[in-house]
Structure 1
Amino acid sequence: MQFKVSNNGKAAVLEPYISMGGHAALLKNDRSVFVHLHPIGTISMASQEMFQENYNQGVLDQEDICFFGFADDSTGNYFNSNTSPNGEVNFPAIKLTTPGNYSVWVQVKSAGEVITQKFDFDVFL
């Protein structure tokens, strides 16, 4: 899932929010499906920090690192407080196997403000 945030028609500069490029919560209307997502999936930040430390020490190559979901990610994005100037945040694709009505709430941060937006969609099989 890819989202682009704009402000008056111009790409918003996204900032890390709680150490991630964004957060999302997906819920089926009957509450039988719930997923809390980050751009890097559901990997723990402790694991990511361990990978980062090993990368910094030369133990891992760049392709071994999980990235954080900004379209122009580099390995140090959150450790260096970089931003996404193109307004894009990407979440991993989710395979929904149950038809029905769903909602996804996406949270990002721009200009120091947390932005939350709800999107509704239907799944047909």
Structure 2
Amino acid sequence: MHFKVSNNGTAAVLEPYISMGGHAALLKNDRSVFVHLHPIGTISMASQEKFQENYTQGVLDREDICFFGFADDSTGNYFNSNTSPNGEVNFPAIKLTTPGNYSIWVQVKSAGEVITQKFDFNVIL
């Protein structure tokens, strides 16, 4: 899923928000489906803690992590610029297998302000 943020037609510069390029929450209107997404995917807190432990011990390298969801994102890009200057953020595709009405809330940060936008859509199978 690809999102682009602009301000009066100009691409917004996105900043990390809670250590991620963005956050999203997807909810089926009957509340039977809920997904919390990040550009790097959805992983458990325990997995994140283990990853951090392995990184700290030098077992893992962060060069392949996608902070804003782009294949060329790297630790160097993230820590040197800390932005997505083109206003874009990507989230992994998900497969919805139940028809119905859904909403997704996408959160990003730009100019120090957290921006939340809701999108409604219908899944027809």
Instruction: State TM-score, norm by structure 2.
Output: 0.81
Residues 19 and 97 from structure 1, CA distance in 2 versus in 1: closer, same or farther, beyond 3 angstroms? same
Contact 2:14 2:84 (8 Å CA) reproduced: yes
User: What is the deviation of 1:54?
Assistant: 6.0
Contact 2:6 2:87 (8 Å CA) reproduced: yes
Deviates more, 1:58-67 or 1:92-101: 58-67
Residues 37-95 of structure 1: CA deviation (Å, up to 9, x unaligned) = 11111124674576578679875567754554257511245555611101000000010
Deviates more, 1:52-61 or 1:15-24: 52-61
Calculate the aligned-residue CA RMSD, in Å: 2.8
Deviates more, 1:115-124 or 1:50-59: 50-59
How far, CA to CA, are the matches of 1:53 and 1:80 in structure 2? 22
Unaligned runs of 5+ in 1: none
How far, CA to CA, are the matches of 2:16 and 2:76 in structure 1? 12
Deviates more, 1:53-62 or 1:38-47: 53-62
Residues 63 and 81 from structure 1, CA distance in 2 versus in 1: closer, same or farther, beyond 3 angstroms? closer
Runs (4+) of structure 1 moved beyond 2 Å? 43-68, 75-81
Instruction: State TM-score, norm by structure 1.
Output: 0.81
2:63 partner SS? helix
Residues 63 and 113 from structure 1, CA distance in 2 versus in 1: closer, same or farther, beyond 3 angstroms? closer
How far, CA to CA, are the matches of 1:74 and 1:50 in structure 2? 20
1:86 aligns with 2:94: no
1:55 partner SS? helix
Q: Percent identity?
A: 94
1:22 aligns with 2:22: yes
Contact 1:5 1:11 (8 Å CA) reproduced: yes
